[in-house]
Structure 1
Amino acid sequence: MTMKAVLAGTVIAEADESELISIEGNWYFPLSSVKDGVLVDSPTPYTCPWKGEAQYHSAIVGGETHADAAWGYPNPYPTAFERLGKDISGHIAFDPRQVEVGP
């Protein structure tokens, strides 16, 4: 099944569900599935006790910037590998308050 991330009526990421990783109720999409030019780094700080330091991203859609619409863990802690059995460094999740994720 194909999963999509939709922001302001625009598909910003699309991938097969088998490529996604589900963590704590969020779907993490492969970075390669995100449309080019949508994400820009945000300075918002956050560190998860077991996943590590997050990199937030704002999303630009239709000329509008949606602050902190996505995040990922480019250098996850070893505990993330231990807990998930997967490398999440190449994946990104979307803020469910801003981005609709589903089939």
Structure 2
Amino acid sequence: MKVENRKPEQQKEQRVDVRLDGVRKLFGDTVAVDHVDLDVYEGEFFSFLGPSGSGKTTCLRMIAGFEEPTAGRVLLRGKDVSRLAPYDRDVNTVFQDYALFPNMTVLEN
């Protein structure tokens, strides 16, 4: 999937804050995300929309660092963060549910 959300002349003017570069994610033999290229520019509000099972949450989890891509790169402000822990990334995550990680205490979460 290739997502282009700006005109070429606008792309030169603004910094890319989030880039997915050929990102692929496998869970066993199941392909969850297959070669996603995406640029989100500075100051831009962006949403993932799609049917259940289309890879929206998996893409967000890879950006946040909760999942590592099987292939490709996740870049934040030009820095490859594909293998960085979530706490080493300058991003925030808001979960739908109260329990972030059910196996951890409140303090550990």
Q: TM-score range by the shorter chain?
A: under 0.3
Scaled by the length of structure 1, what TM-score is found? 0.27
Structure with more of its chain in strand, by fraction: 1
Scaled by the length of structure 2, what TM-score is found? 0.27
